[in-house]
Amino acid sequence: MKLSAGLMLVAAAICASSLQATVTVTSFTASLTSPQPLGTPVTWTTTATDTNPGPLAFRYSVSYGSAGYAVVSDFSQGTKAGGVWTAPPFPWATIANEGTYHIKVGVKDYASGETAGTSMVFSYTAISNGKNFVVSPTVNPLVALASAPGCATGSSFQITIQRVGATATTQSNLIPCDPPHTMNVYAAGMLASTQYSINYQTVTGSTTVVGPTPVTFTTGALPTDITFPTFKVITPASSQTDQADQTVLHGFLAFDAGGPFVPIATNRGGSIIWYDSTYNPTDSALLTRPLLGGDMLVFENGTGWNPAIMAGGQILREIDLAGNTVRTTNIGVLQQQLLARGATDFGPCGAVPVPAPIGAACLGTMHHDAIRLPNGYTAVNVDIEKIFAPGTQGNKTGLNVDIIGDGVLVLDQNFQLVWYFDTFQHDSGAPQLDINRPAVLGETCSTSQSGCPSLFLVGKSGVTTLANDWLHENCIYYNPTDGSLWLSSRHQDWIYKVDYENGSGTGNILWRMGNEGDFTFNNINSDPWPWFSHQHDAGLENTTTGEMTVYDNGNTRVAPPPIGVGSGNSRGMSLTVNEANMTVTPLLSQDLGYFGDALGSAQLLSNGSYFFKTGVVAPHQYSYSQEILPTAGTVDGTSIWDLQTGTCYRGWLMPNMYSPPTT
């Protein structure tokens, strides 16, 4: 269905009208006419006017059939020129179902409270005609769209991918059939310029029915305008390595040749089998977690609402395997939701007066981690800048002290705030985080310093020129047995447990694990420094046995005396955590052969081996992906696979692009 510009303007005026309206939608257009085949990206553009100064923010929501609207792109600030506000472009595509969609734009002036909006009908057509199986190229040369006839209620659907001439087969995750609609899945995890046989199958109970006619698909070449990272096999995979997990997903921070962040997947030999084709040489996407079915959560740079400047970690986006936006939100709208809930530490940094008074605080960026909870909610790390009295944490400048703390925001399926945690204002009762316990190694941050969040208050009149990086949370783990959140604080050398209780918790800190914390380390191997320090990627692998993996960067242990022992490498650790007895016992404490002073990840594999990623090793800034085979009866192991590449925040070893680890 195609609407003329005149009809769209009339619709906008009707939907926006109120007797004293100050916000008016002046245009709402799609880059392509309706209908389009499933999977076709369409970019939506909106302009509006405001008799108040603004600024205006724009939200896009989508509904299918008679269903309610779901937020896809939450309120983002537009740009103003010649008295007209223009929304950020909204590119969107879906392969969910053919049929009629309603695309709605909402416009809001948060200063005046005035709103306006309009909607448009847009249709997507099926690629399969209900009888044939079709495999189509996408904008990503390594990803195809597989479209099959519909299947019966109660059955499940998946695709199979096999390189021509090979025997190994990749299967996507099973998804429920939804008759009478066709079934559509992105085929991913394929080498460039290579032929594959792609088919589908339906599963009903113990019966699997394979599609009658597989389709041969040839992937495209890698683009020449991207300088991809290089990979070097240090120790090749063998019969000892885990045969189930052959896909390595890398969350790059920088390539060995430089360049912005971009997620890339390879096989164990370092050949690229997927990359984020939304890569932009002027922007970055920090991969936080892969999700079941192939979607991924990423942080991206963007323009903050207040101050309206480009900054890191302003945008949370969920993308699919083709790079399409599934859902997105941003710091600006999350600040508004926090303020509406009465949160006092999370306001806009641009609203803090200069000089910043003691007690002033603001929400800066999203950083390090965002995870998907079992109920479909998403937990996100954020940083908070807060101003404390001169002398806090031993500061001797005589100025008000800028301290970086952290928070966790829990968002529902529409990326709307439902719960939050503030390290500066958590619930009373011991044990707690002591503001007078500074970062163990005295870490600080300046504006635009690598490894630090975007800062807005530091260095202003009356405030210290360096911010104390007090906690530096770097990962979130959700414990399904009690609904708690475990947070890793790199600069306290602690993992601490927060009473989340699936959204009804107090936010109290229940314990702190690590050196000088609340647990006793059962030092069965007489290690002179048994505890992890400046750790990354802590999470329970087995909630029954209490096995937890963690990447021990070892910064405090390796620091010169009198703090540490003065030398050493990072370690891959697996620990048994006994919360009843408050003890920790090592299962694995393996020297990885490299010292990674930052970044890293840890994972238990299906064969009982362990995957560790050392994120950055000086002087070349390489990362190393390793599989460690444990030695029975000891806490030691052997490196049986090792792949070198550029700097990565973390990585995952997976069976395919559809089946991420559970931690």
Closest CA to 595 of 620, 622, 614: 614
Map residue 457 onto helix, strand or coil: coil
Cβ atoms of 410 and 420 within 8 Å: the answer is yes
Alpha-carbon gap, residue 621 to 25, rounded angstroms: 49
The tokens for 586 are 């090592």
**Residue 123 CB neighbour total at 10 angstroms:** 12
Alpha-carbon gap, residue 219 to 227, rounded angstroms: 19
Alpha-carbon gap, residue 197 to 596, rounded angstroms: 41
Sign of the CA dihedral with 574 first, then 578, 579, and 581 last: negative
Map residue 94 onto helix, strand or coil: coil
**Residue 22 CB neighbour total at 10 angstroms:** 16
Closest CA to 123 of 94, 147, 145: 94
Alpha-carbon gap, residue 79 to 77, rounded angstroms: 7
Sign of the CA dihedral with 150 first, then 155, 161, and 165 last: negative
Burial 592-620 (b: 16+ CB within 10 A, else e): bebbbbbbbbbbbbeeebbbbbbbbbeee
Q: pTM here? A: 0.95
Q: Which pLDDT does position 281 carry in this prediction? A: 64
DSSP state string for 316-372? EEEE-TTS-EEEEEEHHHHHHHHHHTT-SS-S-GGGS-SSPPTT-EEEEEEEEEEEE
- Which residues are bridge partners to 101 per DSSP? 64, 122
Binned average pLDDT, 10 residues per bin, the chain of 663 residues: 36 41 92 98 97 94 93 96 96 96 97 95 94 96 98 98 97 97 98 98 98 97 91 98 97 76 94 90 83 97 85 94 97 96 94 94 96 98 98 97 98 98 84 93 94 93 97 98 98 97 95 97 97 98 97 98 96 98 98 98 97 96 97 98 96 98 87
Strands (E), 412-491: 417-422, 444-445, 467-469, 473-479, 484-489
Alpha-carbon gap, residue 533 to 419, rounded angstroms: 29
Q: Which long-range contacts (CB under 8 A, 24 or more apart) does 25-34 make?
A: 25/105, 25/107, 25/116, 25/117, 25/118, 26/84, 28/105, 28/118, 28/120, 29/5, 30/103, 30/120, 30/122, 33/2, 34/1, 34/2, 34/121, 34/122, 34/123
CB proximity list for 583: less than 8 A, separation 6 or greater: 519, 520, 521, 522
Q: Which pLDDT does position 259 carry in this prediction? A: 67
5-125 CATH? 2.60.40.3880
Burial category of 192 from C-beta neighbours within 10 Å (exposed 0-12, middle 13-18, buried 19 and up)? middle
Cα 390 versus chain centre, distance: 36
- Nearest-Å Rg of the Cα atoms of the chain is 26
| Bond from prior residue into 586 cis (ω within 30 degrees of 0) | no
**Residue 371 CB neighbour total at 10 angstroms:** 21
Alpha-carbon gap, residue 157 to 148, rounded angstroms: 9
For domain 134-218, the question of CATH label 3.30.70.930 is answered with no
Cβ atoms of 178 and 147 within 8 Å: the answer is no
Sign of the CA dihedral with 197 first, then 213, 159, and 127 last: positive
Can you give the length of the chain in residues? 663
Ranges for all domains in the chain classified under CATH 2.60.40.3880? 5-125
**Cα angle 45-18-69, degrees, rounded to a multiple of 5:** 50
Cβ atoms of 455 and 364 within 8 Å: the answer is yes
**Residue 82 CB neighbour total at 10 angstroms:** 4
The tokens for 298 are 């990423």
Alpha-carbon gap, residue 317 to 30, rounded angstroms: 21
Map residue 46 onto helix, strand or coil: strand
Cα 265 versus chain centre, distance: 16
Q: Which pLDDT does position 6 carry in this prediction? A: 37
Ranges for all domains in the chain classified under CATH 2.60.40.10? 134-218
**Residue 632 CB neighbour total at 10 angstroms:** 5
